[in-house]
Amino acid sequence: MKLATWNVNSLAVRLPQVLDWLAANPVDVLTLQETKLVDEKFPQAELEALGYAVQCFGQRTYNGVALLTRVAASDVVKNIPGFDDEQARVIAGTIQGLRVIGAYFPNGQAPDSDKFTYKMRWLAALRAWVQAELAVHPQLVLMGDFNIAPEDRDVYDPVAWAGQIHCTPQERAHFQGLIAAGLLDAFRLFEQPPKSWSWWDYRNLAFRKNQGLRIDHILLSEALRPRVQACVIDRLPRKNERPSDHAPVVVALA
């Protein structure tokens, strides 16, 4: 069983790439972030034609998430229960006994901004909800664009980024809180090349110079540890014409 997450930065622009990628990588589950489409405009037919059941939770211009599954998902939840939020950031469902949560974590903009305060509130609510979900669903996957680089080795220039958004101690503490709740960073369960990133800025020839951050993650509950076989970042789509600035992350479970 393979699961993947990809921030597509506008599904309207990236749909052909998503269809091509799924044809080449027929994963069982794909969560998307930054679809930027209201549900009425979601390309459901095109994805169903590829054999995927579609759950979407969108909004205009910003945010928007989706859950694509080969087997229809049940118990679908949109956003964090009990956390009042105008932004469409979370979609969850159960597939073959696996609780899958796809999330687009807030960016936070700058550590002294209102958006950072919102990011902290959102992270606290997410962690509390994930802990409750874990108690009910021991087999759980939390994946998406976390907008957090967990460690300095996840940053191309950790000195320049020290204390900056994605790298603040507060954000990293929240990431560690998810780990402490009983989740594993699937990518770090395996030997990986140094300088592995999931996002590269569009500016500055950043991809060509491999200047990026690892901010897209797949976290697995402890109960899934015996099943995990591999976790990779697929850089190929970043080489496309008009790429997303993020690359997909894929995990394989036995």
242 binds DNA (CB under 7 A): yes
- Give 83 or 118: the residue with its C-beta nearer to DNA: 118
Binding mask 102-141 for DNA (x = CB under 7 A): ----xx-xx----x--------------------------
Which x/- pattern, by CB under 7 A, does the window 26-65 give for DNA? Answer: --------x-x-----------------------xxx---
How far is C-alpha 11 from the geometric centre of its chain's CA atoms?
15
DSSP string, 59-107: -SSS--EEEEESS--EEEEES-TT---SS--EEEEEETTEEEEEEE---
Contacting range for DNA; rule: CB under 7 A; set: 91-99, 101-109, 182-190, 231-239: 101-109
- What are the backbone dihedrals phi and psi of residue 59, each rounded to the nearest 5 degrees, phi first? -155, 170
CA-based torsion, 42, 7, 143, 3: positive or negative = positive
Q: Which of 186, 171, 31 is nearest to 101 (CA)?
A: 31
Find the catalytic residue in 28, 52, 145, 185: 145
Q: By CB under 7 A, name the binding residues for DNA.
A: 7, 9-10, 12-13, 34, 36, 60-62, 106-107, 109-110, 115, 145, 147, 165-166, 199, 201-204, 213, 215, 242, 245-246
